[in-house]
Amino acid sequence: MSPAQQLKSDKNAVRQSCLQRRDALDAQEREAKSASICGHVLQHLIANNLAENREISVFLPIRSEVDLTGLLQPLAQAGALLSLPVVLDKKTIVFRSHVPGDALVDAGFGTIGPPAEAQIVDPQLLLMPLAGFDRSGARLGYGAGHYDRALQRLTAKGFFPLAIGIAFGLQEVPDVPVEAHDVPLAAIITENGVCEFEGKSE
């Protein structure tokens, strides 16, 4: 096995372990932890002037992800301009404008999102789901590379969005295997609070 193949194998093993732990959370615990995470996110963004007049991408949960639904209305009330990610194909996601209360539709790939006529925007801040993370700010995604490519695309357009990972504390691992294309996080927010990473912010 080549070094590159070994790295991918290592990432897959860590990913499976993290997702198994996340999937094992019961519904009540997931709901309570999600509510705590929403509170930490809102407090952090407002305290650091990262909400008002900011284009912020928020994700809606699939599988056992953190549920940020309760964050949409408070962020909008704080002046944020919200968008939701929509998967166009196996390689591409875009971010469509969303106002809390507006209708959501089947967006494919097991997700829901704003309808096709919703405006596509370039977020200044992305709240990103993940499989695992470590204390260096390394993010382990789901393997498709959607967010890494989206961040690279935004950077190529002259934007430098803030990338904040959203996860449960049990998704932390000692060391995430990292490839060259993996984009580090500016911060990670769990039910335990906010961990910022030096040198990885705007």
pLDDT at 179 over 50: yes
Domains of the chain (ranges, CATH numbers)? 3-196 (3.40.50.10420)
pLDDT digits (tens, 9 = 90+) for 117-158: 999 999 999 999 999 999 999 999 998 889 999 999 999 999
Top-ranked range on mean pLDDT: pick from 28-37, 108-117, 178-187: 28-37
Mean pLDDT value across residues 68-80:
98
Q: pLDDT tier at 101 (50, 70, 90 boundaries)? A: very high
* pLDDT given for residue 184 in this prediction: 87
pLDDT at position 89 is: 86
Quickly list DSSP for the chain. --HHHHHHHHHHHHHHHHHHHHHTS-HHHHHHHHHHHHHHHHHHHHHTT-STT-EEE-PPP-TT----GGGHHHHHHTT-EEEEEEE-SSS-EEEEE--TTS--EEEETTEEE--TTSPEE--SEEEE--SEE-TTS-EE--SS-HHHHHHHHHHHTT---EEEEE--GGGB-S-----TTPPPPSEEEETTEEEE-TT---
pLDDT-based confidence at residue 175 (cuts at 50, 70, 90):
very high
What's residue 202's pLDDT?
A: 44
For the chain, the average pLDDT equals 93
In this prediction, residues 74-92 reach a mean pLDDT of 94
What's the pTM value of the predicted model, to 2 decimals? 0.94
As a whole number, mean pLDDT of residues 64-89 equals: 96
